[in-house]
Amino acid sequence: MEAVVINYRRGKHRQNTNQMILKISGVDSKEKASKLITKRVVWKSPAGKELIGEIKAVHGNNGALRAYFSIGLPGQSIGTKVKVE
């Protein structure tokens, strides 16, 4: 299953670079998204390095998800696809 990285999780004055908001096509409700919590997420860099994270929570009511990574993702990851396992 694939997801798209939408943005960092952020507030008014700060952004958390190790927390990303993901959107999966076909998941359009909070109930569908909650079934994907604890799944593993893998982002592959252009250099071939894989950064691994985990889906921890639902973000909002339209099916977006919050994924936490141990190392923060770079800005070039926004708009790219990640693999959900």
Q: In this predicted structure, what is the pLDDT of residue 43?
A: 96
Tokens coding 62: 């339209």
CB atoms within 10 A of CB 45: 13
CA distance 76 to 23: 17
pLDDT for 26-67, tens place per residue? 999 999 999 999 999 999 999 999 999 999 999 999 999 999
Residue 27 sits in which domain range? 2-84
pLDDT band at 73 (very low <50, low <70, confident <90, very high): very high
Question: How high is the pLDDT of residue 3?
Answer: 96
The whole-number pLDDT of residue 83 equals: 96
- Write out the two tokens for 75: 């800005």
Q: Percentage of residues in the chain with pLDDT exceeding 90? A: 98
Q: Assign residue 53 the CATH number of its domain.
A: 2.40.10.190
Q: Please give the single-letter amino acid code of residue 34.
A: S
Contact 51, 7 (CB under 8 A): no
The pair of three-digit structure tokens given for residue 81, joined into one six-digit string: 């696809």
The count of domains in the chain is 1
Alpha carbons 23 and 38: distance in angstroms, whole number: 15
Residue 9 confidence (pLDDT): 95
